Amino acid sequence: MGRAATDTAADRGSIALRRTTSEYRAAAEEQASRVREEIEAALAVARSTREEIEQRIADQLHAPRVTHKARATRKRATGRSRAARKH
């Protein structure tokens, strides 16, 4: 009668069994392991992002520079045509 009564009472939730210290420790270690994995994954993403940014910067530093004279020539030509239209 003792075991059957305990099983039905546990199913209803009227009797709560206390966890042992080892169960708490195991749950804490499992959670810590999951958090470590998430941190490692975030660090891996951060490292790859940093490498991509550094590579883009290096590519831009070694790329041939665009001269600003072409842009200035266009502005002057546009300015002259506007001035000619006003007069």
Other CB atoms within a 10 A radius of the CB of residue 13 amount to 7
pLDDT, tens digit only, all 87 positions of the chain: 555 555 555 556 666 677 788 999 999 999 999 999 999 999 999 999 999 999 999 999 888 877 766 555 555 555 555 556 565
Q: How many domains does the chain have?
A: 1
Domain assignment present for 46: yes
Other CB atoms within a 10 A radius of the CB of residue 4 amount to 8
Domain assignment present for 53: yes
Tell me how far apart the alpha carbons of residues 70 and 75 are, in angstroms, rounded to a whole number. 9
Domain range for 56: 17-86
> CA–CA distance from 44 to each of 36, 39, 53, 71 (Å)?
12, 9, 14, 42
Domain assignment present for 2: no
